[in-house]
Amino acid sequence: MSRFTFSRALLWPAILLAGAAQAQQPPETHPGSEQRSIVLNYDRGSLPGDQVLWAERTVLGYSTDLDLKYGQIHLTCGSNSDSGKGRCPIEDSATTTSMRGSLPLRFTERRSGLRTEVELTGWLLRAALTRFCGGEYWHVEERPLWTSYGTKCNGDLPAGTGVSLVLPQRELEKLVAGRWDATLELFLRADPAGPVLATYTFSFDLTITDRDAMSIYFPEFDQVSPRVGLNIDYNPIGLPSIGGRANLDMCLYDGLGSQAEYFEVTVRDDRRSAPGRPAGMYSVWHNTGGSEDRHRLDYEVVMDHNGAKLPLHNDRVEILHGIDTAQLRLVLLPGMTQPVYCVPTPLSLITPRVPAAGKAEGYYQGDLHIEFTLPTAGP
């Protein structure tokens, strides 16, 4: 539980303007290194769409001086095996096929250290020296980012190169709630055997929430409500007595990447009147429906939170601090396709020993309600 508990008159001129832009000669452009920061804050219930890092035909280099070889411009990665700063060929692939390229990049969740690989999509378009090929300066064939290949126009090699790079929304769906960081580094060359002309660095800082997925998770019971016995035992030695202890594994997922300032937890039984019951305790009742003391067994609930034992009093809000530093557990919640980290909060249900003669024999039962609430302020 949470408190967050086309006008036709405009269409033809637009087409004419687009065609005119496509026919324009790209500007004289010389490569230069860039550093960009991409900061996003969103909830998984409302994804932000494709993230365009380089719009289509972003000119990396163009010159009428063909000796500069800007028509061979291509991008490479620092590794072809590790996606830490982007994984792709580290040298010219010389690919001649018309296609787009997939570039895996590893994101790391700051709080938990969880790593997830997403795939960016990129491609190159060559630009001609003149507009006589196909009626415009831009070639239509898309090339992978890491190839120097380009077709000739009127016997001339391409004079420049444009790039497009996108982080698709479908890839953002792989990232669960949390604070995610990644750095993409690409190196630009014109001559496959020549020096690096420019370095492009993209730094990502994504704060993602998933408030609709907030849940109380019981690992042993998955998608059903727990049915827990109190493990009452009978001790005949001395004054015969009964008592017991049961454990219930529980984990709290806040949909914020466990970055909330605190959690609020309220545990209560069915609120049936229990005269004489010690303050803060809970009860189960004999199946005959009797209301006398002998028809009732009282127990207490203790939570293990971050290594400390915390008694949970009946129907009282308990505040759990230190969530941002608490131990975490990786789980796959029902209905989710990616694992997430939750905060372990196992419960102990303890029935203090009482004289057996004072309690009716038979079956006892009762309800225990657990309510999990987040502060209204959060990431």
Query: What residue spans define the domains of the chain?
Result: 26-209, 212-373
Torsion angle defined by CA atoms of residues 16, 20, 21 and 23, in that order, rounded to the nearest 10 degrees: 140
> Are the C-beta atoms of residues 166 and 120 closer than 8 Å to each other?
yes
Q: Are strands 101-109 and 115-127 parallel, antiparallel or unpaired?
A: antiparallel
Q: How many CA atoms lie within 13 Å of 226's alpha carbon, on the beta-carbon side?
A: 20
- Token pair 């507009």 is found at 131
Instruction: Grade residue 39 by pLDDT with cuts at 50, 70 and 90.
Output: very high
pLDDT at residue 2 tops 60: no
- In terms of DSSP bridges, do strands 34-43 and 198-209 run parallel, antiparallel, or are they unpaired? parallel
Q: Which helix (H) or strand (E) holds 207?
A: strand 198-209
Share of the chain above pLDDT 90, in %: 80
**375 band by pLDDT with thresholds 50, 70 and 90:** confident
Q: Which of 127, 123, 82, 126 is nearest to 105 (CA)?
A: 82
Q: Look at the block and give the residue holding tokens 């990665």.
A: 77
pLDDT at 132: 77
Q: How far apart are CA 107 and CA 38, in angstroms?
A: 13
Q: Contact, 315 vs 271, CB < 8 A?
A: yes
Q: Domain 212-373, CATH 2.60.40.2040 — does that match?
A: yes
Nearest-angstrom CA–CA distance, 11 and 20: 15
Q: CB atoms < 10 A from the CB of 48, how many?
A: 13
- Average pLDDT (47-52) is 96
Chain-centroid distance of CA 317 in Å reads 29
Quote the CA–CA distance of 162 and 350 in Å, as a whole number.
69
Q: How far is it, in rounded angstroms, from Cα 233 to Cα 257?
A: 41
Secondary structure element (H or E) that encloses residue 117, with its range: strand 115-127
23 — pLDDT class (breaks 50, 70, 90): low
Residues 127/161, Cβ–Cβ less than 8 Å: yes
User: Which residues face 319 on adjacent strands?
Assistant: 264
Is it true that 26-209 and 212-373 share their CATH fold? Answer: yes
- pLDDT score at 20: 42
The CA radius of gyration of the chain, in Å to the nearest whole number, is 32
* Closest C-alpha among 309, 289, 293, 290 to residue 301: 309
Q: Please state which CATH number belongs to domain 26-209.
A: 2.60.40.2520
pLDDT tens-digit series, residues 196-254: 999 999 999 999 999 999 999 999 987 678 899 999 999 999 999 999 999 999 999 99
The identity of residue 54, as a single letter, is W
β 160-167/340-344 pair status: unpaired
Least confident range from 83-92, 125-134, 172-181, 290-299: namely: 125-134
H or E, element range at 12 = helix 8-23
CA distances for 19 relative to 15, 24, 61, 136, 137, angstroms: 6, 9, 22, 9, 12
For residue 2, give the nearest of 321, 269, 216 by alpha carbon.
Answer: 216
| 3-state DSSP assignment of residue 263 | strand
Question: Distance from CA of residue 108 to its chain's centroid?
Answer: 10
Q: Any idea what DSSP says for residue 213?
A: G
Does the pLDDT of residue 168 top 70, yes or no?
Answer: yes
Scanning 81-224, the segments in alpha helix (DSSP H) are 169-172
